[in-house]
């Protein structure tokens, strides 16, 4: 009984994180064409999803590396 309850709580936590993460991510994607700070919101959504999903962690790592390379390029200009 206790193991089933703990498994259910873990699944509920994962579902809540997924809903919040995807909501923030989709809001950021919508901000690409709508007014808003999409460059800030999309990585926040990925960071939330990265707490539970490996694919989101990999994508967040790629976003971080590309922003650091762009930052280096801009500083040289």
pLDDT at residue 5, rounded to an integer: 87
Q: How does pLDDT run across 52-73, given as a tens digit for each residue?
A: 999 999 999 998 888 877 767 7
Q: Are 21 and 48 in contact (CB under 8 A)?
A: yes
pTM: 0.80
pLDDT at residue 1, rounded to an integer: 72
For residue 68 the two structure tokens come to 């650091």
Q: Count of alpha carbons within 13 Å of 61, Cβ hemisphere only?
A: 8
Q: How does pLDDT run across 13-51, given as a tens digit for each residue?
A: 999 999 999 999 999 999 999 999 999 999 999 999 999
Tell me the C-alpha to C-alpha distance, in Å, between residue 74 and each of 2, 23, 28, 40, 63: 55, 31, 23, 18, 16
């Amino acid at each position: 009984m206790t193991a089933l309850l703990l498994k259910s709580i873990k699944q509920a936590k994962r579902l809540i994180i997924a809903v919040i993460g995807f909501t923030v991510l989709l809001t950021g994607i919508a901000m690409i064409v709508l007014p808003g700070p999409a460059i800030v919101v999309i990585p926040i959504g990925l960071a939330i999803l990265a707490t539970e999903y490996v694919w989101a962690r990999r994508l967040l790592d790629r976003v971080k590396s590309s922003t650091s390379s762009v930052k280096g390029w801009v500083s040289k200009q």
